[in-house]
Structure 1
Amino acid sequence: MAELQSVCDVVIFGGHGDLAFRKLMPALYHLTDTGYLNSKSRIITVTRVEMTFEDHRKLVKEKLKEFLKENVFDEAKFKVFEKQLEVVVIEFDDNSSYEGLSKLLKQEPDRERINYLSTASDFFSTICTSLNEWNLISPKSRVVLEKPIGRDLESARLINKGVLQYFDESQIYRIDHYLGKDTVQNIMALRFSNRFFMPLWDANNIDHVQITVAENVGVEGRWGYYDEYGAMRDMIQNHLMQLLCLVAMEAPCSLDADSVRDEKVKVLRSLRKMTPRDIVEKTVRAQYTKGVSDGETVPNYTDGVPNSTTETFAALRVDIDNWRWNGVPFYLR
């Protein structure tokens, strides 16, 4: 079946969260508008908050107006888009609450299903278990895991093991949405397609590298999530490490996912391990206090989480011990 003719169900767990409204719904709106998502496909929001379809429709419309670029939202196009919308209320850790989703999905049992888990990673295994118990996983099913996956190596392995009980590795997509940014996608083209930069991209010509992710978006109500993870887990170990790999890796033999991943892994394996002294001297963790961003007053982080010691700013120096980058410090913040 041709790509544009394929009809699928996109199931967004945590579909009323910040990521879903800020990134996923606008992306799906664009895909529908450009014909890359068949208009008969369904976009099923799974939320834990009781809500009627009409309230859901109004909320999606409101958020699209807020997060789409200026003058992009179009009433006529939304009339088409809203026909794809569905909403289901589920308590992720209550298996019996999946009955409504089961009835909805089994109306179209032969469709491809994309299960996008835009939730805390603590729920990943639980959601997959319930999908399996309600017979909602087929060879055509996919599962998307949004970063961060776990709090540390042990929990990440446990989550992956739980998901792999029900999905084959080829059905699992571990997503870092930051890699979808245009500037990030252009890094490889800048490096490997530019004859001017290619011979200069090494320790002989570069003194140091700075990678800065400067955000103007605060916690914005995500106090519970952010206080558990902090900037180091939420930004450094995924977004900035991915950027580090793209900047420092060797040219892959092809642009397929496995080849690019293999080159990234080589960079990570070349990172110099930090000693306790290095952690003191080469890392910084801090909290933003009350101030002004883009002309608007923003609160102190501890206004939402009193007495919290979770960092909202993180920076560190890392070193890559290979022939290309020996002696070149990388500063991430």
Structure 2
Amino acid sequence: MTLSAIDFSAASEARPGISLAEPGDYFALLKPRVMSLVVLTAATGLLAAPAGMNPVLAFVSLLAIALGAGGSGALNMWYDRDIDRVMTRTAGRPVPSGRVAPENALAFGLALSVFSVMLLGLAANWFAAAFLAFTIAFYAVFYTMWLKRSTAQNIVIGGAAGSFPPMVAWAAATGGVSWEGFVLFLVIFLWTPPHFWALALFKMKDYGAAGIPMLPNVAGERSTRRHIFAYSLVLAPVGVLPAVLGFASPVYGVVAALLGLNFVRLAHRVLRMPDGDVAMVPAKRLFAFSILYLFALFAWLLAEGVLSHVWGLHVA
């Protein structure tokens, strides 16, 4: 199915010229769950950075990064409307369901993207703004329009887009990048493949129907399970690095180590799954825990950043 062959839903065809979209539909275009993760990781980058920002400018910078993520999400939904329509997980999204016209989603995504970059440049600095523009382009063009449909390593390379927000925020606070910001990037980057491959294991039929070359559909379940376990072995120690490098407390290091060990334990259960497992319970458990894992790490780092910057308490 090509993009040009896609039409609107029957409802939208029955009422030509009348928009079926409600404010909630445009909010859904922003991928609010993804945006909430971007806000958390970007806020962590802002507060972990050694250079403090004016609170108002910091808030505006965080808003700009969030809007950039939302704009790229809208562009992703605009372009992916053909495959979203055939996947049960995404068929109800605003564009494939016909509630938002494709051209409106495109205009909305472009406007938000441009506005977010300009806003970050004015609130922080133009290096951070350029970094944000690169991040948006990386996700909306490089990943969405090419990698996602062309290679089984799509989520590995494309996952960098979701890993950039703490570095963008660090750049907003300091005007540059550093090893600390790169470590925050690396945690998300290494987390993304096992997180999405666990999902792909129990959504193989969806991805197969959409023609997306996710690893389980291309290399098989056994290879995917091995990849998940291998990434978990690397992710677990990297999650502890903020404490090792001194920009997080030893308590964070203990918490990260325990969470990392549990991540490896659950990944090992996935590794031992038999081929053709219908229930996919270990994969579903790892997927659910992976969300908790990343949230817990960055929420802890964020809390330590608040204590340090707002309350003046040195916790690292």
* TM-score, shorter chain, exceeding 0.5: no
More helix by share: 2
More strand by share: 1
Which structure's relative contact order is higher, taking Cα pairs within 8 Å and 6+ residues apart? Answer: 2
Q: Is the radius of gyration larger for structure 1 or structure 2?
A: 1
TM-score range, shorter chain: under 0.3
TM-score by length of 2: 0.28
TM-score by length of 1: 0.27
